[in-house]
Each structure stands twice: as structure tokens, then as C-alpha cells.
Structure 1
């Protein structure tokens, strides 16, 4: 009753604060695409409009912010657009969208998630900002405590099916609190529940889940995946373009073009992004995209020097194995344990082979590990918001906060390796399980309850 009358979610928990050395800020950016285009002739039967086109690029930034800076703006909602939009989106995923079911899903979302907000402060200065101009209200002492010349490595993150840019905020913001700038891309490829494209002229359109049956002509399964991945990759490349513009001193220009009306301090980002250390990352469908985006990388369009793939998709199309940069693949236990046939071989063997080839053929460091006790949603915010429900429905045996921190710790160690070449934590360990649950050597006690190591460069 207290939660209900205070306007809080009735059956969910608040997202926790972040544990790194930095405070975390967030900004939503949506700007016109530099190269707008269509990726298929298919249209939506419902509207007759193109089903796969890129007009704008949209992403949420999570970044190290000035400690103690407080925003006058309200926190971002975890459901970023509206319960109504997402209610209809999830009804479409369920295959029965009408006025009654849309309202039913909307009500369910309010009951389970409601007014859940993201803890990061909105539109506060990047750590080390001068505090002049737009952010002159920031206390002088807070500015003095920062390190203006420091550059932050950059991560571009791609979300999975039935997800969006806010589905992984805790994992991404934990990395931001450890000194990384993270751009969480909002994909408009028909894989998410719902998104609003906001154009520069003030008009907008809604983008919902687009299964094959909703298209005219109806695409074949593999063709649909190819089109969606092409659109996703283009959105990633457009995100890189915007991030380079911030690095090159065009932050105020980006702010003026941003239809989300945030980023007042982006002019202070000039020279603060370490664009020599772009990392590509993703989960599920996004992990498939991450591996695809690493083909021929680093290059001008995709300057990624490494990748992180979390549960690469089992139904997202073929996995690219032409990778010539370091790669960390983390499987949830549910992903490794399930025997899945994937293009005439097991999915596990496909991933293992791709990672091993990076070591043996490309002579680069790569890892393939399984996080014990976890399930496919563990790295998302969902178990943090609904720990009891998600534990019951998915079978996860590790606590929600503990599970996601395992991903954070391994990712941090990999990212640190990319900075200084030093292997830390689980990345120091040789192979313990060449196949899932097939142990050939024990891990140290601090790791044995958490990890299985399937591929490692350690001898």
C-alpha cells in the first residue's frame, strides 16, 4: 500500500547505485543520420511505410561525471518512451495486439516496473569538465577535484531482441563508473518492443516489433536477419560518427541538433574521448551484431580494437568468425548448458571455434568463458528490478546483483587488458573446461564457483 500510494512500483525493486570510482551521468542523443537510407524494399502491411530505414541515430550515453554534480532534470525512466508504447510493443511480440490486450500489457508493465528510474544523473558535466558556460552552476571545488586532460575509452553497445537501449543500464553504468564512456544504441530494426523516431522537423513515428508476417513482401528468415543486422551495423557506424564529432569539438552542434533536447555540456567533451580505444559490445542479437561489426576492424567506419560478446545469438543469423582483434565471449550458464544445433553444428562449438581461431590463426588474445548460475537475462536490468520473478521463471541460482557484477568484473578485466596488456582475474587462468561441464583442471577457489574457462590464451 505504501508503494502504491507513494507512486512507486508495487512489485519491483529500484535499480541500485553504482560502485566504481566515478559518479555516472547520462544523456540521450538523437540526431539525423549522416547517411539516411533504406535497407529493404519491404513495407509494413499495417501502414505501407518502409519497414527498414534509418532516418536518425539514437543512443544513450553513460559516462563518468563530476562527482557531486546534481541535475535539475528528472531521472530517466527505465521504460524510456511510455508504458503505453511498450505495452503495445510487448502485445505485438506476444502475437495478439488490440486495444484490450495493449491496455492489459500496459497495466502489467506499470504493476511490474511502473515508475522505475535509472540512477544516473541526467545531463551533468563529464568528469574533468571546466564547468564554464552552460555548467557554470557546478561548484568550483567539484571542478578542482577533476582531471581535465584525462581521456576515456569508448564502448558502443548493441541490445538484444525484445530489448532497447535502457535494458542494460546497470551493466553499462557500472562500466562508466570505472572510467568508460558507453553509448547504448537504440536499434530501429523491428527487434525492440517500441521506439519513437524524433525527426529534426518536429515530426515523429513509432517503430514496433516487425516479424516476417508483418512485411510485404514477406522476407525469408535468413534475409530478414541479414537486413536487420545491416541496419543495426549502420546505426553503430552512425553512432561512431557522432562520438567522433564530440571528440573533435562539435559538441554544441550535436546539442543543437539533438531532438531529445539534452547534452547542454557536450561542448566540454572536446578531446576527452579516447577514440584510439573504441570497443564494440553487445548481448544476444547485439552480440551477433558485435561480432559482425568486428569483421575487417579496425577500419574507418568501425574503428573497434576489441569486442565483448555476451551470449551471441542462437537465432540471429550466422556468427562472423573473421575477427582480427581481441575478443571476450561470456556465456550465461543457460546458454552454454542447452545443446543447440546451429547451422549443422552445436552453437557452443561454433563459438569455441571462432574464439580459438583468434588465438591460433590471428595471434590475438581471446577468451570464451561461462558464468555459472546465470541465465540469458542475468546481464540485463530485469533481474535487479524483478529478482524473485526472474529467478523463478529463468532458474538463475546466483543473486541478481551478484550475477551482473560477475559480468562487470570480467568485462573490466578485459577492458583493462586492452589498456595495459596485463591479464587479471579470470583472464589469467588457462582452460579449465574445454567443453561445458567437462573439467580438465580445477580453477582457484575464488573462481571455481563462478566461472568455467573454455578458451584462453593463458598457457
Structure 2
């Protein structure tokens, strides 16, 4: 099976930039970790560069329901796996505690040659982002229910920064991100250099302007040495996770700064600074000026990226105004009441696998409650009979390995994708309504989470909050 082309009215393009650190990177505190047997004592959680792939609308299709493009031919499609691909496969095997010598046999199993089903380096769409709803109806004005600071500007493209999960990369969630882009949204997908990516390559310029490359595979706690704590306690894997989250937040802020630079008209300078080559004559980054809604900036993420997005909402100085997160993994961050309070809206879509993880789901409900009590906005929902990996591209590329449990009637991957992409984009434009999700919605039943059984697949379960938002939220 292959990746599906996005269904929205816009054709989609990608563009990859890698630029040196800016104003946020200098605030990163050095971690107490270093790689074992590394005489240079490099900080494995030090900032390297900002590496992002932009998913964005490039032109309206000739027909809203047609896959044919009305734009000029775009550049070559981006590879789904980071290159060199054998390194990416080796990183995946390392994450799964499998021998690197399986990398070559894995070529015949994993989506080795997979390409994203759209071109690259296209110009940003010239049309106004007016075709955003599931039935492609125009939006006339922001919803009256939104406070002034949360109302989207319908003349500008909504924007977000996406943070990937453990063993992910900036392209692992391309189905979700391209679907958002096909409905008129611009997403900067970060590739984290905290050791959580299966494999990433850092490209920097030395003092002479020559590009030097550094490979980094998935990093484990056992790969590291660390300084002794002042109180004599042992350093644990959770200290490592804290250092990772600190770096991840900086990388999200730097990615957001890339969007700011584009919106301020500095696209040509970004093209010049980037160590990843692309066709700027075709992309015309200078034409992105004043096209993005930088007053309403979304943090997005899955799993570890969901936790990162929640943490960045806690930072009052961070310019993110809301977050949509998918199956956030919360063990790496403070619980509700332990960290800074969540004073910005948080919207969460869970898989059933994470919802029936009862202790973890209790932590999640408390966080969403905290956000809802502070802002009067937010929601928490679960898609029944889904798994943690269903938010990624894996069910499309490897359906035999990521199929539903035997005997379980679960929604197909495309149907699941449609639900959480619809929920995300409708929330982006403040037009969210449960009836528009394209899947039956029901309220959580008493005791079903505790019983670890949410019933048959193909439903969205709506979870109650302490201070329930209005029906339009």
C-alpha cells in the first residue's frame, strides 16, 4: 500500500529548510550528558540547526474533487525515509532493539522507496484561504464564540508547528500534515535532534562556508555518560527526557521563527542561509510575505511531540496560542498541578490504546481540565479501536504490520485520518462541530475507560470535562 494523495481543494507542496540557530537557541542550557567514549564531550542535547519541512498549499486544483493540478509542474517528490535510507532503516531497527545487520533484509519489508504523493518547492498559493471546511464551503467571518485573541484571520493562511514522536521524523506524519495543507494550512514539521528521530543528518556550514555533515541515529540512555548530581542521586532516563524536551521546545520555537521570517519577507535570505538546496526560483519564498496568520499559531504533535506541545503552552513567553495534540505521551513532562498551569486552549484526540491506559488517561484528563478551566475552551476525544501508530503514515505504508487486532472491526486508516485531520482543521478555523467529523460521536459511558473496553470501532467518544465548553467548541 502507498501514501494517499490529500483530498482538499489545494494542491500540496513541500519545501525543506535547514538554517543555523537564532534568537531562541542561545537560551538552551547545556545538559549534563555526553556520548560515551567521546573525547570532544559533545552535548547530545545541544542545539544543532533548525531542520523543517514545510507542508503548504501551492495552488487550487482544477476541480475541487480532482487530483489534477492547475499549477506548473513542481519539483521531485520528497523521499519518505531520510537519506541515506539504509541509515534510516538502521535507526528504526535500533529503536526496536533489533540487530543492524537486519537493515538489508528490512529493505524488502519496509517502505524503502516510498515517495510523498506530491511535488516539492512550489510557490505558495495565491488564492485566499477560503476553502477550508469539509464540504469546501466558503467562510465568511470568524465564529462569534471565539474571544478576540483567538479569532483567525480568514484572509491569511493558518499556521502551525508540528513535533514528531519517538522514532519519528519530519515526514513520518505526511498523510496528516498534507491533508491540513490541502485545506489551506501551512505546517512547519520539525525534525528533532534530541536523539528521538530514527536517523537525522545535520548539515552545517564551517567558517569557510563549506557544508559539513553529522549523522545521528536514535539515541538510548545507555549510549550516554552523565555528570553526577550535586545531591549524590543517580541520573535517570527521566533526566534524559527532560533534556530532550528542553531541546525540542527550542527547536519548535526556532521553526516558528522560520515562519515569522517568511511572513516578514525574508524568504530569499532563508534560501541563502539554508544548507538544504531547493529551487527558490520556483518556490519564490519572497512571495510568502504577509500571507501567514502569525497572531494565531498552533502547536501540533503526536506522542512525545504531543507532550512537547503541551509543555510549550506552559511557557508564557512562547508565542503559541493553542495546541492540537494526538495521543500525547505524558510521562516525560510534569502532571497537572506540578508544572506551570495551562492557560491556553488544549485540544486532544486519543487512540483507544492510550485511553484504556487508565493511569495515563487520568493524567491527560486532568491536563485538559486544567486548560479548560483556565480558558473555557478545549476538548478531549477518542477514536474507538485505534492504536498509537494510527496517527502516522505506517498504517498506509505497512498495512500488514499495522492492521487491527484479530477479530476487531476497526475503522480503516483513511477513515481514521479523515476524522482527526477534520477535527484539527475545523478547530484551526474556529468552526469546530462534532457533527462535522464524518464519524458517529457519542458521550463517554460510565465505567468504560476503567473496564478498558470502548465498544465497537468506528465511533468518536467525547469525554466530559469539569467545566464543559459550549457546544460550538
| TM-score grouping bracket, smaller chain normalisation | 0.7 to 0.9
Q: CA deviation at 1:226?
A: 0.7
Inter-CA distance 364–85: structure 2 relative to 1 (3 Å threshold): same
SS at match of 1:325: coil
Q: CA–CA distance in 1 between the matches of 2:179 and 2:83?
A: 23
If each structure's helix is expressed as a fraction of its own residues, which one has the higher value?
Answer: 1
Would the aligned equivalents of 2:167 and 2:197 in 1 still touch at CA under 8 Å?
A: yes
Which residue in 2 is equivalent to 1:8? Answer: none
Q: CA–CA distance in 1 between the matches of 2:246 and 2:458?
A: 39
Show CA shifts across 1:244-298 (max 9, x none): 111101000000111111261211111111101100010000000000000144x
Among residues 118, 123, 137, which one is paired with 1:120 in the alignment? 118
Structure 1 residue runs without a partner (length 5+): 1-12, 131-148, 340-345, 440-446
Inter-CA distance 231–111: structure 2 relative to 1 (3 Å threshold): same
Would the aligned equivalents of 2:301 and 2:324 in 1 still touch at CA under 8 Å?
A: yes
Is residue 18 from structure 1 mapped to residue 10 from structure 2 by the alignment? no
| More off after superposition, 406-415 vs 225-234 | 406-415
Correspondence 1:35-434 to 2 at 5 A: 35=25, 39-48=30-39, 49-67=42-60, 68-71=70-73, 73-95=75-97, 101-128=99-126, 150-201=155-206, 202-217=211-226, 219-262=235-278, 264=280, 265-297=284-316, 299=317, 302-319=318-335, 322-339=341-358, 346-360=359-373, 362-391=374-403, 397-417=410-430, 423=433, 425=435, 432-433=443-444
Q: CA–CA distance in 2 between the matches of 1:47 and 1:381?
A: 35
Inter-CA distance 364–255: structure 2 relative to 1 (3 Å threshold): same
Which residue in 2 is equivalent to 1:135? Answer: none
Q: CA–CA distance in 2 between the matches of 1:38 and 1:203?
A: 24
Q: CA deviation at 1:187?
A: 0.3
Inter-CA distance 180–396: structure 2 relative to 1 (3 Å threshold): farther
Show CA shifts across 1:279-319 (max 9, x none): 0010000000000000144x4xx211110111110543334
Inter-CA distance 270–43: structure 2 relative to 1 (3 Å threshold): same
The alignment's TM-score, normalised by the length of structure 1, stands at 0.82
Q: CA deviation at 1:364?
A: 2.2
Would the aligned equivalents of 1:83 and 1:109 in 2 still touch at CA under 8 Å?
A: no
Is residue 437 from structure 1 mapped to residue 445 from structure 2 by the alignment? no
The alignment's TM-score, normalised by the length of structure 2, stands at 0.79
Which residue in 1 is equivalent to 2:132? Answer: none
Q: CA deviation at 1:70?
A: 4.2
Q: CA deviation at 1:389?
A: 2.1
Which residue in 1 is equivalent to 2:147? Answer: none
Q: CA deviation at 1:438?
A: 6.2
| More off after superposition, 216-225 vs 385-394 | 385-394
* Greater RCO, 1 or 2 (C-alpha within 8 Å, sep 6+): 2
Q: CA–CA distance in 1 between the matches of 2:457 and 2:389?
A: 22
Q: CA deviation at 1:320?
A: 5.7
Would the aligned equivalents of 2:169 and 2:192 in 1 still touch at CA under 8 Å?
A: yes
Number of residue pairs aligned between Structure 1 and Structure 2: 405
Give the aligned CA root-mean-square deviation in angstroms.
2.8
